[in-house]
Amino acid sequence: MEEDNRTLKDRIEALEGLTKEEYKPKKFRLPGKGKISKSKMKKGYVTIATINDNKEIDFTKDRIIDGTIKLQGGDLSFHAVDPSDIFSYKGKPFIFQPKRKLNPYNPLEGKHETYGQKYIMARMEGDKISLKKSMGWIGWVLGLIVLAVIGYAVISGK
């Protein structure tokens, strides 16, 4: 067993330094089986994010033929595609297709939802930067010094 000659204070500071590292989220990388090349894109292929019933997402690539795509998985299924449902990911066509729905999912369509507004506002309030209003012990010390000077001036009559 290796002996560590650091003090307990040094060990705690080292542990705090490890936990204070800033969190940097990883960038999303599309799985290889869903990537399409420029030549395949010219032939009508798209990347499809298949949303299964168990909320699992699979990435595949398939060709749009006569406005339809064919999903192969546990069972073969055909789905209709409208040009407004095709999105772009890094310049390549991308579709969100729920397995049980006939048409792709388009998050831009539908009514405006405000049910999460109070949670968003609470998060924004918590994340805002606020200035510290009290000066702490330095303010108290300076205030006492000023009061002592004023009190000395009043008592001595100067």
Instruction: Give the C-alpha distances (Å, rounded to integers) separating 119 from 15, 122, 124.
Output: 33, 5, 9
pLDDT score for 19 = 66
**Domains in the chain: boundaries:** 32-98
Residue 64 CA to residue 30 CA, distance in Å, equals 20
DSSP 34: G
The answer to whether the beta carbons of residues 69 and 49 sit under 8 Å apart is no
Whole-model pTM? 0.59
Percent of the chain with pLDDT strictly greater than 90: 22
- Given this model, what pLDDT does residue 93 score? 92
User: What's the pLDDT at 87?
Assistant: 93
Half-sphere exposure (CA, 13 Å, Cβ side) for 104? 26
- List of the chain residues with pLDDT < 70: 1-3, 19-21, 129-135, 158
**pLDDT tens-digit map of 99-108:** 888 888 888 8
pLDDT of residue 21: 66
CB of 105 closer than 8 Å to CB of 51: yes
